[in-house]
Amino acid sequence: MQRKGEMPLPLYHQIYTILREQILDGSFIEDKPIPSELVLAGMYDVSRVTIRATLEKLQKEGLISREKGRGTFPRRRRLTTRPAPADLRGFMDYLVALGWRTRTKILEFEYVRPPRAIARQLVLKEDDVVQKAVRLNSCRGAVYGYVTTYLREDVGRTFTRAQLQKGPMLPLLERAGIRLTRADQTVTAKLAEVRIAKLLETPVGAALVCMRRTIYDQNSAPLEVNEGLYRPDRFEFHLSMERPGGMPESEWSAVHRHPARGSSRGKP
């Protein structure tokens, strides 16, 4: 970060981009004000002039509304395109294998009312609660991933925080009699905001691999929504494709010969 009072374009654009991304992905609750100029200036170690200019740009784009005496509120826009579903055959097995090689620190484990977007994805009623778990993953002493999971309450109550501390979540679900039949996944990029950057030991605004996943049970009901943020220098996922016989009428299919990897050097 630059010294307070300075506003070079890279710094200004970096803060603007992070806040814009947080608004669009629903990190800020729609009917509650975002942090004040003073708080944001302290978080990013910049002047209020920098923050004020950033907020003005967001306001011009229609992403926030500033109400005198009340604060600044996010105005989330709906995406006009839908992400293409990914073929996950074999991928879940690799996630489990990676989980057993990973050391996990549980940062949060509680039952809460989920954000509206999560409640819609899990098809929940207004007063329903979910198990929220936030985990920090490391391998060979190097932290590489920050994972937030929202799990339907009836499923979450089948295991404890201590059990989750010992290994990956998917085997715990199957042990409880849940059959996992489908998963929709989106892989994209996200910038590291202040708290995540500190936990992942990376600069604020650094690009992270973002993997969002919704998992369904045997009744085709959504039971889990999670988002994983990973350092690209310490995590990678390989996907091989094959076309049987190389014939034009054959469809391409995913072949997971290489697992997702998390390590101190990017490879286990």
pLDDT confidence band for 237 (50 / 70 / 90) = low
Query: What is the pTM assigned to this prediction?
Result: 0.67
Q: Is residue 79 part of a domain?
A: no
Q: Is residue 188 part of a domain?
A: yes
Q: Is residue 81 part of a domain?
A: no
Q: Do 57 and 98 share a domain, yes or no?
A: no
Q: Do 14 and 142 share a domain, yes or no?
A: no
In this predicted structure, what is the pLDDT of residue 249? 66
Q: Do 132 and 27 share a domain, yes or no?
A: no
Residues 6+ apart with CB under 8 A from 200: 143, 144, 145, 146, 192, 208, 229, 231
Is it the case that residue 84 has pLDDT exceeding 80?
Answer: no
CATH classification at residue 24: 1.10.10.10
pLDDT confidence band for 75 (50 / 70 / 90) = confident
Q: Do 122 and 69 share a domain, yes or no?
A: no
Our count of domains for the chain comes to 2
Give residue-wise pLDDT tens across range 181-211.
Answer: 888 888 899 999 999 999 999 988 889 999 9
Q: Do 198 and 256 share a domain, yes or no?
A: yes
Query: Residue 85 and residue 232: Cα distance in Å, rounded?
Result: 22
Give residue-wise pLDDT tens across range 32-70.
Answer: 899 999 999 898 888 888 888 888 888 887 888 988 888
Residues 54/63, Cβ–Cβ less than 8 Å: no
Residues 6+ apart with CB under 8 A from 187: 86, 209, 210, 211, 237
Is it the case that residue 265 has pLDDT exceeding 60?
Answer: no
Domain coverage including residue 13: 9-74
% of the chain exceeding 90 in pLDDT: 32
End residue of a domain, out of 24, 42, 74: 74
pLDDT confidence band for 228 (50 / 70 / 90) = very high
